[in-house]
Structure 1
Amino acid sequence: MTLSTATTTVFTANTIIAEAHSGRTDANGGHRDNKNKSGLGSYHYHCNGHPAHLHTNGVCPYAVGGQTDNSSAGNSSTAAAEAPSITYDLMNSYSRVFDPDYYYNTYPDLQTAIGTDKLALFTHFYNSGMAEGRKGCAEFDVNVYKENNTDLQTAFGSDLRKYYEHYMNTGWAEGRTH
């Protein structure tokens, strides 16, 4: 009887999430949630029909299930989670920590190497800039965020990418110093 109740609860949660927005997703199974109806921030995923979730460090928490499933859908989802496509949708999902105009104007080395291509600037930020601790926008400084949130230092150590992701996903909503 308890198992049946748990199954009903999971089904109900999926139904509520599906009704919270239009359900359109990008090639990686993710989409913007501008009103944060999911409570997960401005971007989240629905891979292989799972409830709304985040991809911490670009990895789907359901990817393990996809790998053992051996279905083509599971394998393509796992591949996408391991190496997310750099798209405008992904760039927009980082809007709390990245502004391409600010990034361009702040770093002369990128002006010379990349130019004004917004997606190329985001690609640099995503692949290198976060690990280097570069400021992606005027409103967020990862080093200030790390210094002022000792609980995160314990959890993330020196992995700066995790600080950016934490801020985007929950830190901003918690009003943490940044």
Structure 2
Amino acid sequence: MKMEVTTKKQKRFGKNFKKVILLLAAILTIGYADARYADGIIIAQAHSGRTDSRGGHHDYKNKSGLGSYHYHHGYPAHLHPNGVCPYDNANTAPAANENSSPAPETKTQPVLNAADYKLVFDSTFYYNNNPDLQTIIGNNEQKLLEHFVSNGMAEGRKGCSTFDVTKYKDNNPDLATAYGNDLKKYYEHYMSTGYNENRIHN
């Protein structure tokens, strides 16, 4: 009778032991990832396993895809080609996280062309008739044009002798309904439409 009990216990233990072994094998398999190549360095995602004094460890079954031995020491799993760690190079950074977002693009303002504003702007006139800008900007044509477009038009400054935005607004009441007190819109309307329509502008 005792022999039968022992045999049943052994069988039960054997079945449970197999389940535990299969479970451990599944966990270890999930812990590994396929090897990949990034930024000139062969790497694999992190996985379980202790490292030795060199910062590496054996992977006899090559589950990482990097061969029987590879390194970590603070980086993703990788190899040392010719005995040199690719991460020792100051110019080489660890592989970027695939989920990291790219750096934001810096938008540059388009360069203004004086020819596009010739109907409402003359740099010499603008310089001579705006003494407050003479010490701040000087007579640099491009800087004067940039000021005129970014500030002067909204302020209603005269950019040339042949166009006066106040007179253009007063003599074209149909535009006041559309633009109100947005003076820059009057300059833009004159350049795109008003000049060809021979509207009063000075």
TM-score by length of 1: 0.52
Structure ranking higher on relative contact order (CA contacts 8 Å, 6+ apart): 1
Q: Please give the residue correspondences for 1:139-154 in structure 2 after superposition, counting only pairs within 5 Å.
A: 139-154=162-177
| Letter aligned with residue 85 of structure 1 | P
Decide which of 76, 85, 91 is 2:110's aligned counterpart: 85
Tell me the percent identity. Answer: 54
| Letter aligned with residue 136 of structure 1 | G
The change in CA–CA distance for 1:161 and 1:168 in structure 2 (over 3 A counts) is same
The change in CA–CA distance for 1:173 and 1:117 in structure 2 (over 3 A counts) is same
Q: CA RMSD in A?
A: 1.8
TM-score by length of 2: 0.46
| Letter aligned with residue 116 of structure 1 | N
| Letter aligned with residue 173 of structure 1 | N
* Residue-by-residue CA offset, 1:104-161 (whole Å, 9 max, x unaligned): 0001001111101000000100100000000000000000000000000001001111
Which segments of structure 1 move beyond 4 Å, counting only runs of 4 or more? Answer: none
DSSP-derived class of the 2:147 partner: helix
Residue aligning to 2:129: 106
| Letter aligned with residue 171 of structure 1 | G
Decide which of 93, 111, 118 is 1:95's aligned counterpart: 118
Mapped to 2, the partners of 1:84 and 1:167 lie a distance apart of 24
Mapped to 1, the partners of 2:157 and 2:111 lie a distance apart of 18
Residue 159 of structure 1 pairs with residue 182 of structure 2: yes
Residue 130 of structure 1 pairs with residue 153 of structure 2: yes
Mapped to 2, the partners of 1:86 and 1:115 lie a distance apart of 19
Q: Name the structure where helix makes up a greater proportion of residues.
A: 1
Q: CA deviation at 1:84?
A: 4.5
Please, which runs of 5 or more residues in structure 2 have no aligned partner? 1-104
Mapped to 1, the partners of 2:154 and 2:193 lie a distance apart of 20
Q: CA deviation at 1:92?
A: 1.4
Q: Name the structure where strand makes up a greater proportion of residues.
A: 2
The change in CA–CA distance for 1:84 and 1:155 in structure 2 (over 3 A counts) is farther
